[in-house]
A and B are shown apart, each in its own frame.
Chain A
Amino acid sequence: MAKHDATERDAVDRYTGGSLGGSLPDNLWMHVGLIGSIALMSLPIVLAALMSTQSVSQIYEVTNLAPGGQGVDNYTRALFEHDLFAFMINSFIMAIAIVIGKIALSLLAALALVYYDFPYKNAVFVFVLFTLMLPVPVRIVPLFELMVNLDWINTMWAITVPYLASATAVFLFRQHFMSIPASMVEAAKLDDIGGIKFLIYVLIPMSKGMIAGVGVITYVYAWNQYLWPLAVINNKENQVLQVGLKSLEGTAAAGQIEWGLIMSGAIIALIPPLIVLVVLHKPLLETFGLQQK
């Protein structure tokens, strides 16, 4: 009986905008649960960041959670002695090339698929979509042999060109173009501008959010690539950051593993995609269909 009263009051509160008395204790648990979950999710990174400033001997005092004094030293050594800076430049070049290439190619394909009338259109779209079934692992061996034949081993070509076409990006742009009112293209047709001009002057300005969203998805995806670069890049000069982290794994001084140094490497590899996510989270969430309340 009492429980019934409480829920009824709760329901009424929803309608009256919620008086403090009724909804606070109830929602308080939601807030506590959320803060707890988020703290738990973030704890490993906070600890890693703290310990990335510690010296080897501080690390070996397990319960010592105070920031150590060796932060600058750990980060500069990771970046320059262990080449993470060079790896990071390679990762940036790779990720940016993939982002720009993938967006450009997918915009052109989506333009054709939505605004052009040509035969076998659905078949072409299905042909593009079917590539969702072909992730790198199901074609890794012949793709590797192809890289050998093209003489692309240890080059930027190998870790960018195979990523340039994207079923997801074509699908998202196509979907977005179809939500733009048809009257837009009729006006463009009256002005007698061609498809490419229509794309540049009308579609792209109207798709900024979607392009930014696809950009974030692609950037994070490219930045996190590990398996393929590990297979086709086997010299230090051309390696990317994620795989480069592996070379830190064994670093030891006087028989003790330098975990502080390794953690600084992990933080360095996390920061760029994290910044991209925080800055561009709005278009990303909208691309994923999430309208913020």
Chain B
Amino acid sequence: MIVLDHCQKTHVVFTVVEGYIEETQARYTTQMSEQSAREVFTNNKEAALLLLPTLFVIVMFLYWPAIDTFRLSFFQTTLTSERFAGTYNYIRLFTSGSYQNSLFVTFGFGLVVVGGTMLLSLFISFMLYEVDRFTSIYLITAIWPYALPPAVAGLVLLFLLQPDLGILTYWIRSIGSIFGMDLGLDWRTSGPMAFVVVSITAIWKQLGYNIIFMVAAMNNIPNTIDEAAQLDGISRSNRLFKIYVPLMSPTLVFLIVINTIYAFFATFPIIDLMTSGGPGGATNILIYKLFIDAFENFNLGYAAAQSLVLFLIVGVLMYIQLRVTDRYAHYG
């Protein structure tokens, strides 16, 4: 009996979901057929002129330097000269212990930051979605870290988490002592602790962006699905993880990609201001190492080879996003 009951409930939910998918598919098709009706201007010269500024900037400042990165990565450089060096930079890169360390640290950091950010944002977004009063005040006070500059996030927590005079460290230590723990919390000398501190800072800054997209995705779930789930008496946590999360999957894949790129690149100010990659390379993420090699050691060819590795990483991420969102494109 119970099994049958469960099947019926699932069936109701699925029927509604299918209806929703068909509806969005239909909308998508009409949009496509209307497309050509808009192309009323036929002057090719005018079209070229309109596109010229954008194309000029992307060729000159995006494509050309990107291609030149590839060339430069095969050269050995000093401040004044370039010398062809074949695969020297790449061999040096992959036999370098500090580069292997950076790769390891960066992927670990990416995993922690993406996972932490998305899990916390999911819970906060779900609460925002569930409450039916004060919604706009809650929303704006929950998404404000969107405007938080990473450099500010880094400086503020650098101070508040100072081992000797940070108030947050003091509070954490006090809580620890209740449980009989003697927490030193000297993250200026402990690698793993420094890693945790920069991860927390990076997660904090990224919450706002994720909440915006997650609430948007939840709001796009049609009320009928919601009502069916509620009528069937599905519990809150089941509703979140078994209905909302699968329906939100295109948004979640998008956010995984965006957050990974954020963790790999945009956290540079946090590392620069809080740890300078230390202690002992524990927070020396790829982009920080690249910057030091390029602009402090002036090892431009070596840095270019590192850029190329970053490009491959971005490429794989974008490919995953395109593949997955293509498959789910009809969900909107």
Contacts and interface: CB of A to CB of B under 8 A. Distances in A.
A288 B156 CA distance: 28
Contact of A31 (B131, B148, B272): B131
B268 interface: yes
B160 A142 contact: no
Given A124-B51, A141-B307, A246-B273, A185 B40 contact: yes
Interface in A242-285: 242-243, 245-246, 248-249, 259, 262-263, 265-266, 269-270, 273-274, 276-278, 281, 284-285
Contact of A37 (B124, B131, B147): B124
A269 B273 contact: no
A62 B155 contact: no
Interface residues of B, number: 103
Contacts of B232: 11
B156 A138 contact: no
B165 A60 contact: yes
Interface stretch (B9-17, B42-50, B184-192): B42-50
Contact of A34 (B41, B55, B138, B157): B138
Taking each of B57, B151, B268, which has the highest tally of chain A beta carbons within 10 Å of its own beta carbon? B151
B97 interface: no
A115 B41 contact: yes
Contacts of B139: 285, 292
B314 A111 contact: no
A284 B140 CA distance: 11
B40 to A, nearest CB: 5
B265 A290 contact: no
A14 B230 contact: yes
A96 interface: no
A288 B290 contact: no
A146 B65 contact: yes
Given A139-B307, A141-B72, A226-B268, A289 B216 contact: yes
Contacts of A7: 233, 235
Nearest to A198: B41
B148 A65 contact: no
Nearest to A49: B156
Interface string B272-301: 110000000000000100110011000010
A45 interface: yes
Contacts of B220: 289
A178 B138 CA distance: 33
Nearest to A14: B230
| Consensus secondary structure, chain B interface | helix
A165 interface: yes
A246 B136 contact: no
A115 B65 contact: no
A143 interface: yes
Contact of B57 (A105, A179, A245, A277): A105
B39 A143 contact: no
Which secondary structure dominates chain A's binding surface? helix
A168 to B, nearest CB: 11
A10 to B, nearest CB: 7
A170 B48 CA distance: 15
A262 B149 contact: no
B314 A34 contact: no
Contacts of A273: 147-149
B72 A142 contact: yes
A224 B151 contact: yes
How many A residues touch the partner, as a band?
35 or more
A47 B160 contact: yes
A224 B262 CA distance: 13
Interface in A159-177: 161-162, 164-165, 170, 177
Leading 8 A-B pairs by shortest Cβ distance: A142-B68, A290-B216, A139-B65, A165-B57, A117-B39, A142-B65, A112-B50, A116-B47
7 contacts: A117-B42, A119-B44, A140-B291, A141-B300, A185-B40, A227-B268, A246-B273
Interface of A: 4, 7-8, 10-11, 14-15, 18, 27, 30-31, 33-34, 37-38, 41-42, 44-45, 47-48, 51, 59-60, 62-63, 65, 104-106, 108-109, 111-119, 124, 127-128, 131-146, 161-162, 164-165, 170, 177-179, 182, 185-186, 188-189, 194-195, 220, 223-224, 226-227, 230-231, 242-243, 245-246, 248-249, 259, 262-263, 265-266, 269-270, 273-274, 276-278, 281, 284-285, 288-293
Interface of B: 31, 34-35, 37-44, 46-48, 50-51, 53-55, 57-58, 60-66, 68-69, 72, 120, 123-124, 127-128, 130-132, 134-136, 138-152, 155-157, 159-160, 162, 165-168, 170, 204, 207, 212-213, 215-216, 219-220, 227, 230-233, 235, 261, 265, 268-269, 272-273, 287, 290-291, 294-295, 300, 303-304, 307-308, 310-311, 314-315, 318
Given A31-B131, A116-B44, A116-B50, 12 more contacts: A27-B131, A41-B142, A41-B144, A41-B145, A41-B207, A42-B144, A108-B50, A111-B50, A135-B261, A138-B314, A165-B54, A188-B40
